[in-house]
Amino acid sequence: MEDLATAFNHSHEQLVKANKIKVETERLSGQSQLVAIVDTVADGIVTIDDSGRIATFNPAAETLFGYRESEIIGQKVNVLMTQLDASAHDNYLHNYLSGQPAQIIGIGREVLAKRRDGTEFPVDLSISEMHVSGKRMFTGIIRDITQRKKDEQLKSEFVATVSHELRTPLTSIRGALGIVLGKFEGQLPDKGQKMLTMALRNCERLTTLINDILDIEKLESEQLSLNMEELNLDAIIRRSIEDNEGFAKHHGVSLCYLPGPQEA
């Protein structure tokens, strides 16, 4: 019995030891995976302590800012900011640690960052809070949006140019048609009157389309205000058929509108 108990205790100790080794191996493996993710992610990842000093600086951040990790660790994170943001950062951090509502943490925003050579560039910045070994720390995920801002600027310039180049001739054509219809009202053949009226209406439609393009820009910048109003759908459908009837006949297509029952 004594030998059996000794053997059992030895087996138990071996199992406990093997389990500890397994847990430690899995923990180290998980840490290695996490380090590999942080080191290979395309976005810059910077962590700071509650005094605002940089604790970690991944390779993507090195590429973004031009600093080596060994020379930036321990420095104030303000060195990565423009002068305006750097002067306000310490106050933001102090106020947050004092219990005031967060102004940046948990909220993504666009800011200007500063490289080692002093050049500034736009970034998307997202900051989150974490606790490591009982200490409060903050993680910043930084994405360079220089190319995106250039693309947005080019798109805005293109839309503005196209809108201007289209609006100018359309305004002239619409004005000329309006003068003809106004001056010779009642003197034109019915068919000619109808064609000129349709041409004028199509000019107005094109102008509306141009305005819609500009409205899309306002919508993206959250500057668009909508005014809701009721419209006569029956009149819109009939006008649409009239405007497209010539095009449809050219392709051998007949347009027919069957209105629904009138409301009481």
- Long-range Cβ pairs for the range 208-212 (8 Å, 24+): 210/163, 210/166, 210/167, 210/170
pTM: 0.57
Query: Domain check: are 162 and 237 in the same one?
Result: yes
What does the pLDDT profile of the chain (264 residues) look like in tens digits?
A: 666 566 656 665 666 565 665 545 544 444 556 566 667 788 899 998 888 899 989 989 999 999 998 899 999 999 999 888 887 887 777 777 777 766 666 667 888 999 999 999 999 998 888 887 788 888 889 999 999 999 888 888 887 787 777 778 888 888 888 888 888 777 878 888 888 888 888 888 888 888 887 777 777 766 667 788 888 888 888 888 887 877 788 788 888 888 876 654
Query: Domain check: are 180 and 238 in the same one?
Result: yes
Query: Domain check: are 160 and 117 in the same one?
Result: no
Query: Domain check: are 161 and 221 in the same one?
Result: yes
Which domain does 219 fall in, by range? 149-247
Residue 231 maps to a domain: yes
Beta strands of 133-221 (E only): which ranges?
Answer: 135-144
Among candidate residues 126, 144, 162, the one where a domain is terminated: 144
Among candidate residues 78, 113, 144, the one where a domain is terminated: 144
Residue 24 maps to a domain: no
Token pair listed for 145: 């949006």
